[in-house]
Amino acid sequence: MSKPIVLITGGTGLTGSHIISQLLEQGQYTVRGVARSASKLKSIFPDARPDQLEIVEIPNLTSDFTEALKGVYAVIHVASATYANGATGPEIFEVAYEGTLNLIQQAIKQGIKKIVYTGAYGSLLDTKISNGFSTVPITEKDFGPITLEELDRTDTNLTTIYQASKTIAEKKAWELAHENPDVDLTVLLPPGIFGPLVPNFVLKSRESLSSNDYVYQIILNGPDAYPFFPVSDMVDVRDIARAHLAALALPPLPVDEETGSRRDKRFIVSGCKYWWKEVADLIRRERPHLAHRLPKEDVPAPVQITTPLDLSFTEKFLPGFEGVQSYYPWEDSILGALDSALALEQDGKKN
């Protein structure tokens, strides 16, 4: 008997490759990976049989997915263009907004009911991040107020474009899901994603490090500067990958007694807070040969978001994420991210 097919985008990236790896290990589904380069995705999973991993080459997320979506049980949409991987403002918008809606609309048109979407932590914040410095916890009910009409996709601040594009795309995704009540949508909201790479991951440039590059910057920016990445919450890439599998298996939530409707499956997935000063101390302790490349100890700590996250909704409804003990220790995530960057650095020296 054939297994249900799960289509996944972004499989050559940091998070997507871990999701595919875990799906293959689980063995409950046939994975259909959509990628711009079939050979690149195949090189990451060279031992996967055709009945385990199908690869469909599609040039971009605004393409026609008709053939790729045939026979698919569920869609996991991870792919995104970010300022971390070298994309321009218009490219970020095209992938994060237009590409996301294109895929979700085509999936709904083909009758696919199960959709898991990797949203963005920034969707919880207002445009100026003022609610990032509050004593009032951020919850899954928070949503940035930005609208499509307000977005300037030519803005030189790529962080703003990414945050706004992902926020607007998620709002539209929920609108589509509510218009089609048979669609079971889950949105996962990870903050900083750090951790090791899957075996055979293709490292060609700093862009391929994705968010791990921020950890790399702490030994790259010189003795007087910390990375500019104000997010202070993080999740290990293996945990956010695991969250996608949990979402895939999660049935619709029960009806909310107050509203009389089902709660949206919108989950903040975060292991803990971290601070760049602590990251530097960790590297001095665990990778002492890199100490001379770290910011000096008297360099002021960079500003990071202080608002706490309320994870009670995730802990209640997303199986396997019942508390901090459910996640990898932050130290493992940081060192895994750093080691991935050092592997890239070493390859560069060889070449």
Backbone phi and psi for residue 8, each to the nearest 5 degrees, phi listed first? -130, 135
Question: From CA 33, how far away is CA 27, in angstroms rounded?
Answer: 15
Q: State how far the Cα of 122 lies from the Cα of 166, in Å rounded to an integer.
A: 8
Distance of CA 155 to the CA centre of its chain: 23
Nearest CA among 129, 82, 119 for reference residue 270: 119
pLDDT for res 321: 97
In whole angstroms, what is the distance from residue 72 CA to residue 342 CA? 38
pLDDT tens track, the chain, 351 positions:
789 999 999 999 999 999 999 999 999 999 999 999 999 999 999 999 999 999 999 999 999 999 999 999 999 999 987 665 567 888 888 888 999 999 999 999 999 999 999 999 999 998 778 888 999 999 999 999 988 888 887 777 888 888 889 999 999 999 999 999 999 999 999 999 999 999 999 998 899 999 999 999 999 999 999 999 999 999 999 999 999 999 999 999 988 888 878 899 999 999 999 999 999 999 999 999 999 999 999 999 999 999 999 999 999 999 999 988 999 999 999 999 999 999 999 876 654
CA dihedral 89, 83, 328, 251 (to 10 degrees): 10
Structural domains of the chain sorted by starting position, each given as residue range(s) with its CATH number in brackets: 5-197+233-273+307-329 (3.40.50.720)
Query: How many CB atoms neighbour CB 286 within 10 A?
Result: 12
Q: Where are the beta strands (DSSP E) in 82-218?
A: 114-118, 184-189, 192-194
13: left (phi over 0), alpha (psi -120 to 50) or beta: beta
Residues 6+ apart with CB under 8 A from 216: 206, 209, 337, 338, 341, 344
Please count the other Cβ atoms lying within 10 Å of the Cβ belonging to residue 255: 11
91 contacts 73 by C-beta, under 8 angstroms: no
Nearest to 344 by CA among 217, 220, 237, 206: 206
Q: Bridge partners of 188?
A: 118, 267
Quick one: pLDDT at residue 147? Answer: 87
DSSP state string for 131-152:
GGS-SSPB-TT------TTT--
What are the C-alpha distances in Å from 295 to residues 273, 290, 346? Answer: 20, 11, 21
Tell me what pLDDT residue 129 has.
81
User: What radius of gyration do the chain's Cα atoms show?
Assistant: 20
Buried b / exposed e across 290-323, counting CB within 10 Å, b at 16+? eeeebbeeebeebebbebebbbebbeebbeebee
